[in-house]
Structure 1
Amino acid sequence: MNGTWHSHWRHAFKLDPDKTIGDEALEAICMSGTDAIIVGGSSGVTYENTIDLMARIRRYEVDCALEVSTLEGAVPGFDGYFVPLVLNTDRSEWIVGRQLQGLMEYGAFVPWEETAAQGYVILNGEATAARLTEARTALTEPELVAHVQLADRLLRLPIVYIEYSGAFGDMNMLWAASRHIQDAQLFYGGGIDSAEKAAQAAELAHTIVVGNVVYTDLNAALSTVRAVKHGESNLP
Protein backbone atom coordinates (compact mmCIF):
# COMPACT_ATOMS: atom_id res chain seq x y z
CA MET A 1 0.00 0.00 0.00
CA ASN A 2 1.38 3.42 -0.89
CA GLY A 3 2.01 6.26 1.53
CA THR A 4 -0.62 8.73 0.36
CA TRP A 5 -3.09 10.66 2.54
CA HIS A 6 -5.80 7.98 2.27
CA SER A 7 -3.57 4.95 2.80
CA HIS A 8 -4.52 4.39 6.45
CA TRP A 9 -8.25 4.17 5.74
CA ARG A 10 -9.87 0.82 6.48
CA HIS A 11 -13.47 2.02 6.54
CA ALA A 12 -15.20 4.96 4.89
CA PHE A 13 -18.77 6.11 4.58
CA LYS A 14 -19.91 7.56 1.27
CA LEU A 15 -22.58 10.25 1.45
CA ASP A 16 -24.50 11.46 -1.58
CA PRO A 17 -25.12 15.23 -1.79
CA ASP A 18 -28.37 14.50 -3.64
CA LYS A 19 -29.77 12.48 -0.71
CA THR A 20 -31.20 13.77 2.56
CA ILE A 21 -29.59 12.92 5.88
CA GLY A 22 -30.70 14.42 9.19
CA ASP A 23 -28.40 16.10 11.68
CA GLU A 24 -28.59 13.30 14.24
CA ALA A 25 -27.82 10.61 11.67
CA LEU A 26 -24.95 12.66 10.26
CA GLU A 27 -23.50 13.14 13.74
CA ALA A 28 -23.70 9.39 14.38
CA ILE A 29 -21.91 8.67 11.12
CA CYS A 30 -19.18 11.25 11.65
CA MET A 31 -18.62 10.19 15.29
CA SER A 32 -18.75 6.45 14.56
CA GLY A 33 -15.01 5.89 14.38
CA THR A 34 -14.94 5.58 10.61
CA ASP A 35 -11.71 6.71 9.00
CA ALA A 36 -13.32 9.03 6.48
CA ILE A 37 -16.40 10.44 4.84
CA ILE A 38 -16.39 10.45 1.04
CA VAL A 39 -18.83 12.86 -0.59
CA GLY A 40 -19.99 11.89 -4.06
CA GLY A 41 -22.76 10.56 -6.23
CA SER A 42 -23.62 9.49 -9.77
CA SER A 43 -26.44 11.96 -10.40
CA GLY A 44 -27.94 15.16 -9.02
CA VAL A 45 -24.63 16.48 -7.67
CA THR A 46 -24.39 20.28 -7.67
CA TYR A 47 -22.12 22.91 -6.18
CA GLU A 48 -24.85 23.93 -3.75
CA ASN A 49 -25.71 20.50 -2.33
CA THR A 50 -22.04 19.50 -2.20
CA ILE A 51 -20.86 22.56 -0.30
CA ASP A 52 -23.85 22.28 2.05
CA LEU A 53 -22.98 18.66 2.94
CA MET A 54 -19.29 19.50 3.31
CA ALA A 55 -20.09 22.35 5.71
CA ARG A 56 -22.18 20.03 7.87
CA ILE A 57 -19.48 17.34 7.96
CA ARG A 58 -16.83 19.93 8.77
CA ARG A 59 -18.28 20.28 12.27
CA TYR A 60 -16.62 16.96 13.09
CA GLU A 61 -13.00 15.84 13.20
CA VAL A 62 -13.10 13.18 10.52
CA ASP A 63 -11.31 13.06 7.16
CA CYS A 64 -13.60 14.38 4.45
CA ALA A 65 -12.87 13.78 0.76
CA LEU A 66 -14.71 14.65 -2.41
CA GLU A 67 -15.13 12.25 -5.30
CA VAL A 68 -15.24 14.62 -8.26
CA SER A 69 -17.86 13.24 -10.64
CA THR A 70 -19.04 16.54 -12.15
CA LEU A 71 -17.50 19.94 -12.69
CA GLU A 72 -20.59 21.47 -11.07
CA GLY A 73 -19.78 19.63 -7.85
CA ALA A 74 -16.09 20.56 -7.69
CA VAL A 75 -15.92 22.36 -4.34
CA PRO A 76 -12.77 23.61 -2.57
CA GLY A 77 -12.16 22.96 1.11
CA PHE A 78 -12.08 19.16 1.33
CA ASP A 79 -9.18 17.26 2.93
CA GLY A 80 -8.69 15.30 -0.27
CA TYR A 81 -10.04 14.73 -3.75
CA PHE A 82 -10.63 11.58 -5.79
CA VAL A 83 -10.84 11.61 -9.58
CA PRO A 84 -12.53 8.44 -10.87
CA LEU A 85 -11.44 6.84 -14.14
CA VAL A 86 -13.88 4.12 -15.26
CA LEU A 87 -11.65 1.45 -16.78
CA ASN A 88 -14.26 -1.00 -18.06
CA THR A 89 -16.08 1.29 -20.47
CA ASP A 90 -15.59 1.88 -24.18
CA ARG A 91 -16.61 5.53 -23.79
CA SER A 92 -13.36 7.46 -23.52
CA GLU A 93 -15.08 10.46 -21.94
CA TRP A 94 -15.29 8.47 -18.67
CA ILE A 95 -11.60 7.52 -18.80
CA VAL A 96 -9.89 10.76 -19.82
CA GLY A 97 -12.40 13.06 -21.52
CA ARG A 98 -14.15 14.65 -18.56
CA GLN A 99 -10.93 14.66 -16.59
CA LEU A 100 -9.18 16.66 -19.32
CA GLN A 101 -12.11 19.06 -19.46
CA GLY A 102 -11.84 19.59 -15.72
CA LEU A 103 -8.10 20.23 -15.90
CA MET A 104 -8.55 22.76 -18.68
CA GLU A 105 -10.94 24.72 -16.48
CA TYR A 106 -9.50 24.18 -13.00
CA GLY A 107 -6.02 22.71 -13.46
CA ALA A 108 -4.33 25.75 -11.93
CA PHE A 109 -6.29 25.26 -8.70
CA VAL A 110 -5.92 21.51 -8.19
CA PRO A 111 -4.31 20.62 -4.82
CA TRP A 112 -2.15 17.90 -6.32
CA GLU A 113 -0.76 16.58 -3.04
CA GLU A 114 -4.31 15.86 -1.86
CA THR A 115 -5.64 14.53 -5.19
CA ALA A 116 -5.68 10.86 -6.20
CA ALA A 117 -6.98 8.99 -9.23
CA GLN A 118 -9.27 6.01 -8.71
CA GLY A 119 -9.26 3.22 -11.28
CA TYR A 120 -12.91 2.14 -11.14
CA VAL A 121 -14.09 -1.29 -12.27
CA ILE A 122 -17.91 -1.29 -12.07
CA LEU A 123 -19.37 -4.79 -11.89
CA ASN A 124 -23.09 -4.30 -11.20
CA GLY A 125 -24.92 -3.65 -14.44
CA GLU A 126 -27.97 -2.28 -12.59
CA ALA A 127 -25.99 0.47 -10.86
CA THR A 128 -26.61 4.06 -11.89
CA ALA A 129 -22.90 4.53 -12.53
CA ALA A 130 -22.82 1.47 -14.79
CA ARG A 131 -25.73 2.71 -16.89
CA LEU A 132 -24.34 6.24 -17.04
CA THR A 133 -20.89 5.16 -18.20
CA GLU A 134 -22.05 2.13 -20.20
CA ALA A 135 -19.59 -0.01 -18.26
CA ARG A 136 -18.97 -3.56 -19.43
CA THR A 137 -19.93 -5.19 -16.16
CA ALA A 138 -20.03 -8.89 -17.13
CA LEU A 139 -16.30 -9.36 -16.79
CA THR A 140 -14.73 -12.78 -16.37
CA GLU A 141 -12.15 -13.25 -13.65
CA PRO A 142 -9.21 -13.06 -16.12
CA GLU A 143 -10.70 -9.86 -17.57
CA LEU A 144 -11.01 -8.37 -14.10
CA VAL A 145 -7.42 -9.28 -13.29
CA ALA A 146 -6.29 -7.60 -16.51
CA HIS A 147 -8.13 -4.41 -15.50
CA VAL A 148 -6.52 -4.53 -12.07
CA GLN A 149 -3.08 -4.96 -13.59
CA LEU A 150 -3.74 -2.13 -16.03
CA ALA A 151 -4.57 0.21 -13.17
CA ASP A 152 -1.98 -0.98 -10.68
CA ARG A 153 1.04 -1.94 -12.73
CA LEU A 154 0.76 -0.11 -16.05
CA LEU A 155 -0.99 3.15 -15.17
CA ARG A 156 0.38 3.20 -11.61
CA LEU A 157 -2.88 4.49 -10.19
CA PRO A 158 -2.90 4.82 -6.38
CA ILE A 159 -6.36 3.25 -6.02
CA VAL A 160 -8.20 0.38 -7.68
CA TYR A 161 -11.90 0.54 -6.83
CA ILE A 162 -14.07 -2.57 -7.29
CA GLU A 163 -17.61 -1.19 -7.39
CA TYR A 164 -20.85 -3.19 -7.09
CA SER A 165 -22.98 -0.19 -6.09
CA GLY A 166 -26.44 -1.36 -5.01
CA ALA A 167 -25.54 -5.04 -4.62
CA PHE A 168 -23.13 -7.11 -2.56
CA GLY A 169 -20.48 -8.33 -4.93
CA ASP A 170 -18.90 -11.65 -5.77
CA MET A 171 -16.20 -12.09 -3.12
CA ASN A 172 -14.37 -14.50 -5.42
CA MET A 173 -13.89 -11.63 -7.84
CA LEU A 174 -12.69 -9.38 -5.04
CA TRP A 175 -10.30 -12.11 -3.92
CA ALA A 176 -8.91 -12.35 -7.47
CA ALA A 177 -8.39 -8.59 -7.51
CA SER A 178 -6.67 -8.65 -4.13
CA ARG A 179 -4.27 -11.39 -5.24
CA HIS A 180 -3.00 -9.28 -8.13
CA ILE A 181 -2.70 -5.91 -6.39
CA GLN A 182 0.91 -4.91 -5.93
CA ASP A 183 1.14 -1.21 -5.08
CA ALA A 184 -2.36 0.26 -5.35
CA GLN A 185 -4.82 0.54 -2.49
CA LEU A 186 -7.81 -1.73 -3.12
CA PHE A 187 -11.19 -0.15 -2.41
CA TYR A 188 -14.42 -2.14 -2.39
CA GLY A 189 -17.94 -0.70 -2.41
CA GLY A 190 -21.37 -2.17 -2.93
CA GLY A 191 -24.14 -3.76 -0.88
CA ILE A 192 -22.39 -3.65 2.49
CA ASP A 193 -25.43 -3.50 4.76
CA SER A 194 -24.32 -5.58 7.76
CA ALA A 195 -21.34 -6.24 9.99
CA GLU A 196 -20.92 -9.67 8.43
CA LYS A 197 -20.65 -8.32 4.89
CA ALA A 198 -18.32 -5.57 6.06
CA ALA A 199 -16.02 -8.14 7.66
CA GLN A 200 -16.04 -10.33 4.53
CA ALA A 201 -15.09 -7.48 2.24
CA ALA A 202 -12.52 -6.06 4.68
CA GLU A 203 -10.66 -9.37 4.67
CA LEU A 204 -9.91 -8.84 0.98
CA ALA A 205 -9.84 -5.08 0.41
CA HIS A 206 -7.65 -2.45 2.02
CA THR A 207 -10.62 -0.11 2.34
CA ILE A 208 -14.36 -0.73 2.31
CA VAL A 209 -16.85 1.99 1.41
CA VAL A 210 -20.34 1.89 2.92
CA GLY A 211 -23.03 3.99 1.31
CA ASN A 212 -26.70 3.17 0.69
CA VAL A 213 -27.39 1.52 4.04
CA VAL A 214 -26.72 4.85 5.77
CA TYR A 215 -30.09 6.03 4.41
CA THR A 216 -32.07 2.86 5.08
CA ASP A 217 -30.71 1.36 8.33
CA LEU A 218 -28.46 3.62 10.38
CA ASN A 219 -27.74 1.01 13.06
CA ALA A 220 -26.64 -1.50 10.44
CA ALA A 221 -24.41 1.15 8.89
CA LEU A 222 -22.77 1.89 12.25
CA SER A 223 -22.20 -1.82 12.86
CA THR A 224 -19.95 -1.98 9.81
CA VAL A 225 -17.45 0.34 11.49
CA ARG A 226 -17.14 -1.93 14.52
CA ALA A 227 -16.83 -4.98 12.31
CA VAL A 228 -13.92 -3.54 10.38
CA LYS A 229 -12.14 -1.58 13.10
CA HIS A 230 -12.60 -4.05 15.95
CA GLY A 231 -13.32 -7.35 14.22
CA GLU A 232 -16.89 -7.54 15.53
CA SER A 233 -18.60 -9.42 12.70
CA ASN A 234 -21.32 -11.15 14.77
CA LEU A 235 -23.33 -8.33 16.24
CA PRO A 236 -26.89 -8.52 17.58
Structure 2
Amino acid sequence: MKNSTPLYASWRHAFKLDPNKELSDEALEAICESGSDGILIGGTDGITYENVTELLGRVRSYAIPCIQEVSRLDAVVPGFDHYFIPLVVNAGRAEWLLQPHMEAIKQYGRLIPWHELTVEGYVVLNPDSKVGRLTASVQPNSIDDLFVYTTLTDRLLQLPILYLEYSGIYGDPSWIEQVQRRTTHSHLFYGGGIGNQEQAQVMSERADTIVVGNLIYEDWRRALETVPQQPSSI
Protein backbone atom coordinates (compact mmCIF):
# COMPACT_ATOMS: atom_id res chain seq x y z
CA MET A 1 0.00 0.00 0.00
CA LYS A 2 1.26 3.49 -0.82
CA ASN A 3 2.00 5.86 2.02
CA SER A 4 0.65 9.39 1.78
CA THR A 5 0.05 12.22 4.17
CA PRO A 6 -3.62 12.84 4.87
CA LEU A 7 -3.58 16.25 3.18
CA TYR A 8 -2.94 15.10 -0.38
CA ALA A 9 -3.71 11.38 -0.11
CA SER A 10 -7.18 11.78 -1.61
CA TRP A 11 -6.30 14.51 -4.11
CA ARG A 12 -7.20 13.63 -7.68
CA HIS A 13 -6.78 17.12 -9.13
CA ALA A 14 -4.82 20.23 -8.18
CA PHE A 15 -4.27 23.63 -9.76
CA LYS A 16 -0.79 25.14 -9.68
CA LEU A 17 -0.55 28.92 -9.45
CA ASP A 18 2.58 30.88 -10.33
CA PRO A 19 3.21 33.98 -8.17
CA ASN A 20 5.12 35.53 -11.08
CA LYS A 21 2.07 35.49 -13.38
CA GLU A 22 -1.00 37.69 -13.36
CA LEU A 23 -4.41 36.22 -12.60
CA SER A 24 -7.61 38.22 -12.34
CA ASP A 25 -9.81 38.08 -9.27
CA GLU A 26 -12.58 36.53 -11.38
CA ALA A 27 -10.29 33.75 -12.57
CA LEU A 28 -8.87 33.11 -9.11
CA GLU A 29 -12.31 32.83 -7.56
CA ALA A 30 -13.41 30.38 -10.26
CA ILE A 31 -10.28 28.27 -9.77
CA CYS A 32 -10.62 28.18 -5.99
CA GLU A 33 -14.35 27.40 -6.12
CA SER A 34 -14.04 24.86 -8.95
CA GLY A 35 -14.15 21.72 -6.84
CA SER A 36 -10.45 21.00 -7.33
CA ASP A 37 -8.88 19.25 -4.36
CA GLY A 38 -6.10 21.73 -3.75
CA ILE A 39 -3.86 24.58 -4.84
CA LEU A 40 -0.10 24.45 -5.27
CA ILE A 41 1.78 27.74 -5.31
CA GLY A 42 5.22 27.74 -6.88
CA GLY A 43 7.31 28.44 -9.96
CA THR A 44 10.80 28.50 -11.42
CA ASP A 45 11.67 32.16 -11.90
CA GLY A 46 10.60 35.51 -10.51
CA ILE A 47 9.52 33.96 -7.21
CA THR A 48 9.82 36.33 -4.27
CA TYR A 49 8.65 36.46 -0.69
CA GLU A 50 6.43 39.39 -1.62
CA ASN A 51 4.59 37.85 -4.57
CA VAL A 52 4.12 34.51 -2.79
CA THR A 53 2.68 36.33 0.22
CA GLU A 54 0.37 38.36 -1.98
CA LEU A 55 -0.95 35.30 -3.82
CA LEU A 56 -1.40 33.29 -0.62
CA GLY A 57 -3.41 36.14 0.85
CA ARG A 58 -5.75 36.09 -2.14
CA VAL A 59 -6.18 32.30 -2.05
CA ARG A 60 -6.87 32.38 1.68
CA SER A 61 -10.19 34.06 0.94
CA TYR A 62 -11.38 30.59 -0.03
CA ALA A 63 -11.59 27.26 1.80
CA ILE A 64 -9.44 25.23 -0.59
CA PRO A 65 -6.23 23.67 0.85
CA CYS A 66 -3.06 25.45 -0.27
CA ILE A 67 0.49 24.07 -0.41
CA GLN A 68 3.68 25.94 -1.22
CA GLU A 69 6.09 24.16 -3.51
CA VAL A 70 9.36 25.65 -2.34
CA SER A 71 11.80 26.74 -5.04
CA ARG A 72 13.64 29.54 -3.23
CA LEU A 73 14.77 29.60 0.35
CA ASP A 74 14.16 33.34 0.64
CA ALA A 75 10.58 32.97 -0.63
CA VAL A 76 9.27 30.53 1.98
CA VAL A 77 6.13 32.08 3.46
CA PRO A 78 4.45 30.99 6.72
CA GLY A 79 0.73 30.26 6.68
CA PHE A 80 0.42 27.49 4.12
CA ASP A 81 -1.33 24.23 4.98
CA HIS A 82 1.77 22.27 3.97
CA TYR A 83 5.06 22.57 2.08
CA PHE A 84 6.42 20.45 -0.75
CA ILE A 85 10.21 20.27 -1.10
CA PRO A 86 11.28 19.25 -4.64
CA LEU A 87 14.30 17.01 -5.14
CA VAL A 88 15.10 16.77 -8.87
CA VAL A 89 16.41 13.20 -9.07
CA ASN A 90 17.44 13.49 -12.73
CA ALA A 91 19.23 16.84 -12.33
CA GLY A 92 22.44 16.98 -14.35
CA ARG A 93 23.89 19.67 -12.10
CA ALA A 94 24.98 18.41 -8.72
CA GLU A 95 24.05 21.68 -7.00
CA TRP A 96 20.38 20.97 -7.74
CA LEU A 97 20.34 17.60 -6.02
CA LEU A 98 20.95 18.26 -2.33
CA GLN A 99 22.94 21.48 -2.04
CA PRO A 100 19.89 23.80 -1.64
CA HIS A 101 18.42 21.47 0.96
CA MET A 102 21.66 21.35 2.92
CA GLU A 103 21.88 25.14 2.85
CA ALA A 104 18.33 25.39 4.20
CA ILE A 105 19.15 23.03 7.06
CA LYS A 106 22.35 24.93 7.82
CA GLN A 107 20.55 28.27 8.04
CA TYR A 108 17.17 27.32 9.48
CA GLY A 109 17.43 23.74 10.76
CA ARG A 110 16.21 24.53 14.26
CA LEU A 111 13.24 26.49 12.94
CA ILE A 112 12.01 24.06 10.27
CA PRO A 113 8.58 22.55 11.08
CA TRP A 114 9.43 19.06 9.81
CA HIS A 115 5.88 17.74 10.28
CA GLU A 116 4.67 20.28 7.70
CA LEU A 117 7.13 19.22 4.97
CA THR A 118 6.93 16.52 2.30
CA VAL A 119 9.74 15.78 -0.14
CA GLU A 120 8.83 15.33 -3.81
CA GLY A 121 11.03 13.19 -6.01
CA TYR A 122 10.87 15.26 -9.21
CA VAL A 123 11.61 13.71 -12.60
CA VAL A 124 11.77 16.57 -15.12
CA LEU A 125 10.79 15.25 -18.56
CA ASN A 126 10.93 18.38 -20.70
CA PRO A 127 14.54 19.46 -21.25
CA ASP A 128 13.42 22.70 -22.92
CA SER A 129 11.39 23.86 -19.94
CA LYS A 130 12.71 26.48 -17.53
CA VAL A 131 13.24 23.92 -14.80
CA GLY A 132 14.78 21.48 -17.27
CA ARG A 133 17.34 24.02 -18.41
CA LEU A 134 17.99 25.29 -14.90
CA THR A 135 18.76 21.84 -13.52
CA ALA A 136 20.25 20.43 -16.78
CA SER A 137 17.93 17.47 -16.30
CA VAL A 138 19.10 14.20 -17.85
CA GLN A 139 16.36 12.92 -20.11
CA PRO A 140 15.37 9.24 -20.20
CA ASN A 141 15.57 7.87 -23.75
CA SER A 142 13.27 4.93 -23.03
CA ILE A 143 10.71 3.71 -20.52
CA ASP A 144 13.46 1.57 -18.97
CA ASP A 145 15.52 4.72 -18.36
CA LEU A 146 12.49 6.33 -16.72
CA PHE A 147 12.05 3.26 -14.52
CA VAL A 148 15.54 3.88 -13.15
CA TYR A 149 14.58 7.33 -11.86
CA THR A 150 11.18 6.26 -10.60
CA THR A 151 12.57 3.19 -8.84
CA LEU A 152 15.26 5.37 -7.27
CA THR A 153 12.53 7.64 -5.93
CA ASP A 154 10.02 4.99 -4.97
CA ARG A 155 12.14 2.11 -3.71
CA LEU A 156 15.64 3.31 -2.79
CA LEU A 157 14.80 6.74 -1.37
CA GLN A 158 11.17 5.84 -0.55
CA LEU A 159 10.05 9.42 -1.03
CA PRO A 160 6.38 10.13 -0.31
CA ILE A 161 5.79 11.74 -3.72
CA LEU A 162 6.97 10.87 -7.22
CA TYR A 163 6.28 13.84 -9.49
CA LEU A 164 6.54 13.34 -13.26
CA GLU A 165 6.92 16.90 -14.57
CA TYR A 166 6.51 17.45 -18.31
CA SER A 167 6.25 21.21 -17.75
CA GLY A 168 4.28 22.54 -20.71
CA ILE A 169 4.16 19.44 -22.91
CA TYR A 170 1.74 16.52 -22.75
CA GLY A 171 3.40 13.27 -21.71
CA ASP A 172 2.98 9.76 -23.05
CA PRO A 173 0.03 8.18 -21.18
CA SER A 174 1.47 4.70 -21.65
CA TRP A 175 4.64 5.75 -19.81
CA ILE A 176 2.61 7.17 -16.93
CA GLU A 177 0.57 3.98 -16.73
CA GLN A 178 3.67 1.77 -16.65
CA VAL A 179 5.28 3.91 -13.96
CA GLN A 180 2.11 3.69 -11.87
CA ARG A 181 2.14 -0.09 -12.09
CA ARG A 182 5.69 -0.20 -10.74
CA THR A 183 5.19 2.36 -8.00
CA THR A 184 4.64 0.78 -4.61
CA HIS A 185 5.42 3.52 -2.09
CA SER A 186 5.25 7.00 -3.62
CA HIS A 187 2.10 8.95 -4.42
CA LEU A 188 2.25 9.64 -8.18
CA PHE A 189 1.76 13.23 -9.34
CA TYR A 190 1.59 14.08 -13.04
CA GLY A 191 1.98 17.62 -14.42
CA GLY A 192 2.40 18.95 -17.93
CA GLY A 193 0.50 19.99 -21.02
CA ILE A 194 -3.02 19.13 -19.94
CA GLY A 195 -5.11 21.26 -22.26
CA ASN A 196 -8.64 19.88 -22.08
CA GLN A 197 -11.04 17.64 -20.20
CA GLU A 198 -10.17 14.53 -22.22
CA GLN A 199 -6.44 14.80 -21.54
CA ALA A 200 -7.15 15.41 -17.86
CA GLN A 201 -9.28 12.27 -17.67
CA VAL A 202 -6.66 10.16 -19.45
CA MET A 203 -3.94 11.18 -17.01
CA SER A 204 -6.28 10.93 -13.99
CA GLU A 205 -6.77 7.28 -14.83
CA ARG A 206 -3.00 6.73 -14.65
CA ALA A 207 -1.66 9.04 -11.94
CA ASP A 208 -2.84 9.48 -8.37
CA THR A 209 -3.00 13.26 -8.78
CA ILE A 210 -2.89 15.48 -11.86
CA VAL A 211 -1.70 19.08 -11.72
CA VAL A 212 -2.97 21.75 -14.11
CA GLY A 213 -0.93 24.93 -14.32
CA ASN A 214 -0.14 26.60 -17.64
CA LEU A 215 -3.68 26.22 -18.94
CA ILE A 216 -4.92 28.56 -16.20
CA TYR A 217 -2.98 31.42 -17.79
CA GLU A 218 -3.87 30.46 -21.35
CA ASP A 219 -7.61 29.96 -20.87
CA TRP A 220 -8.79 29.68 -17.28
CA ARG A 221 -12.34 28.78 -18.29
CA ARG A 222 -11.02 25.76 -20.16
CA ALA A 223 -8.85 24.91 -17.16
CA LEU A 224 -12.02 24.58 -15.09
CA GLU A 225 -13.14 21.76 -17.39
CA THR A 226 -10.23 19.61 -16.20
CA VAL A 227 -11.71 19.32 -12.71
CA PRO A 228 -13.51 15.98 -12.27
CA GLN A 229 -17.24 16.41 -12.01
CA GLN A 230 -18.62 15.77 -8.55
CA PRO A 231 -21.39 13.17 -8.30
CA SER A 232 -24.81 14.76 -7.91
CA SER A 233 -26.36 14.44 -4.47
CA ILE A 234 -29.69 12.67 -4.29
Number of residue pairs matched?
Answer: 229
Match of 1:66 in 2: 68
Higher relative contact order (CA 8 A, sep 6+): 2
Match of 2:174 in 1: 172
Q: What's the CA shift for 1:137?
A: 2.0
Which of 201, 204, 226 is equivalent to 2:203? 201
Q: What's the CA shift for 1:147?
A: 0.9
**Aligned residue type for 1:32:** S
TM-score normalised by the chain length of structure 2:
0.95
C-alpha deviations, 1:122-175, integer Å up to 9, x for none? 111111100010001243211111111111111010000001001111112211
**Aligned residue type for 1:87:** V
Q: Which moved more, 1:17-26 or 1:171-180?
A: 171-180
Which of 28, 45, 48 is equivalent to 2:47? 45
CA contact (8 A) 2:13 2:228 kept: no
Match of 1:121 in 2: 123
CA distance in 1, matches of 2:126, 2:79: 32
CA contact (8 A) 1:130 1:137 kept: no
C-alpha deviations, 1:77-127, integer Å up to 9, x for none? 100000000011232221111111112122222222221000001111111
Where structure 1 has 5 or more consecutive residues not aligned to the other structure, the ranges are: 231-236
**Aligned residue type for 1:170:** D
1:140-159 to 2 correspondence within 5 Å? Answer: 140-159=142-161
CA contact (8 A) 1:40 1:66 kept: yes
Q: Which moved more, 1:48-57 or 1:94-103?
A: 94-103
1:52/1:214 CA distance change after superposition, 3 Å: same
How many percent identity over aligned positions? 47
Aligned partner of residue 79 in structure 2, secondary structure: coil
Aligned partner of residue 31 in structure 2, secondary structure: helix
CA distance in 2, matches of 1:108, 1:24: 40
Q: What's the CA shift for 1:2?
A: 1.6
1:20-39 to 2 correspondence within 5 Å? Answer: 20-39=22-41
CA contact (8 A) 1:88 1:137 kept: yes
CA distance in 2, matches of 1:210, 1:12: 6
Q: What's the CA shift for 1:226?
A: 2.8
CA distance in 2, matches of 1:90, 1:212: 25
CA distance in 2, matches of 1:193, 1:51: 28
Where structure 2 has 5 or more consecutive residues not aligned to the other structure, the ranges are: none
TM-score normalised by the chain length of structure 1:
0.94
Q: Which moved more, 1:44-53 or 1:92-101?
A: 92-101
CA distance in 2, matches of 1:90, 1:213: 28
Match of 2:11 in 1: 9
CA contact (8 A) 1:123 1:139 kept: no
Match of 1:233 in 2: none
Q: What's the CA shift for 1:13?
A: 0.3
Aligned partner of residue 6 in structure 1, secondary structure: helix
CA contact (8 A) 2:158 2:186 kept: yes
